[in-house]
Amino acid sequence: MALKEEFKKLIFLGDFSLFFCALFLSIFGLVFLWSLSLSFQHQNFFLKQIIFLIFGIFLFFVFSLINFRAVKESSLFLFILYLLSLVLLLGLLFFAPKIRGQRSWFVFGFFTFQPVEIVKIFLILFFAKFFSQRHQDMYQAKHILISAFYLFFPTFLVFLQPDFGSALSLVLLWLSILLVAGIKRKHLIFILISGILLSIIFWFFVLKEHQKARIITFLEPYLNPQRKYLDPYGTGYHIRQSLIALGSGGLFGKGIFNKKTLVKLGYLPEAETDFIFSGIGETFGILGSSILLGLFLFFFWRLYKILISLEDNFSRLFCVGFFLLVLSEMAINIGMTLGMVPIIGLPLPFVSYGGSNLIALYIGLGIVESFYVRRRFK
């Protein structure tokens, strides 16, 4: 009976515009993956992504029906989620096989699971609770230090995989929620200076050569008079092929059925994940890329409207964290394809192939919808 009432609330009080926008983004990605499936080497991505999307939609409705406002009162539940995050990330170091040099995925037959994606959602919930309880005392440095202490363990475990992109994403999530929760200017300056010092230490003593190469490749056009990648067939290959693919699409693209594209001929690495925006630009042209960016713009506008309609700090902070998670991953992914940021391996939200990221994002959407439906219920 209680489930029936919650379902009625969702149907009559929910705002599904955000969900349908995310769904259109996912369908856009599916169309591109179907185009790739015409090439033998990409044939499994399309069918797997359909399964991931169906499961993600199912979890969206499941999490929409849960009253997450009640979670605010349960510190133990959120701390258990935090511990579960650490267990999942720690388990990777012992039980996950190495895939492309990383221990980032649990393997279950034909499917893999990347825990860091769901950990991002758990941490947004955890920090939303932490800062909403202390929003009047954020001037005290001890609260920032305690939150940094909680951040350190999952970030360190992700870095050990090694997954620099996801580790950076966790830090950005923490910092963004911290800024919205309220922080003194001197504390922010201290954090930024500490970040610069840690970056220097990481560069000389922690980062591996291939990780340094990605950053150097990004900087190369700005460090030499020719403004060209000095190693175009080595560390600069990905960016070079990405820019060629984007530029060759023209206004309307080369079309879904064209088999002589850089993507289908295998010249653009990771076209289904990290460089999917380049593949979409080549296949659908400027017009298709513009439609995709328009969908993202509408998504952020609707999420912002939902955010400002909420009445408590806990739900607002979660929505801010989710907003910035999607925004940062979108900006970094597209920035990578344009050579504007270093290649750190983040997917394009809702669009790139990959079940872990897609399912985690739909879970996040479900939590946002849960907050919106119950925004006026005490």
pLDDT in tens, 297-311: 999 999 999 888 887
Number of domains in the chain: 1
On whether residue 20 sits in a domain, the answer given is: no
pLDDT of res. 296:
95
Q: Write down the residue that tokens 């020719």 correspond to.
A: 226
On whether residue 119 sits in a domain, the answer given is: yes
Query: For residues 15 and 316, which has the higher predicted lDDT (pLDDT)?
Result: 316
Q: Are 115 and 154 in contact (CB under 8 A)?
A: no
On whether residue 8 sits in a domain, the answer given is: no
Share of the chain above pLDDT 90, in %: 21
Query: How confident is residue 279, by pLDDT bands cut at 50, 70 and 90?
Result: confident
Tell me the whole-structure pTM to 2 decimals: 0.88
What is the rounded average pLDDT for all residues in the chain? 81
CA distance 219 to 54: 41
On whether residue 97 sits in a domain, the answer given is: yes
On whether residue 19 sits in a domain, the answer given is: no
On whether residue 324 sits in a domain, the answer given is: yes
Q: Are 114 and 104 in contact (CB under 8 A)?
A: yes
CA distance 159 to 176: 20
On whether residue 18 sits in a domain, the answer given is: no
CA distance 26 to 351: 5
On whether residue 235 sits in a domain, the answer given is: yes
DSSP for 93-154, written as a single string: HHHPPPBTTB---EEETTEEE-HHHHHHHHHHHHHHHHHHHTGGGTTSHHHHHHHHHHHHHH
Contact residues for 29 (Cβ-Cβ < 8 A; gap 6+): 49, 276, 348, 350, 351, 352, 353
pLDDT of 231 above 70: no
pLDDT of res. 219:
63
Query: For residues 141 and 55, which has the higher predicted lDDT (pLDDT)?
Result: 55
pLDDT of res. 141:
72
> Which residue range forms the structural domain that includes residue 186?
25-373
pLDDT of 206 above 70: no
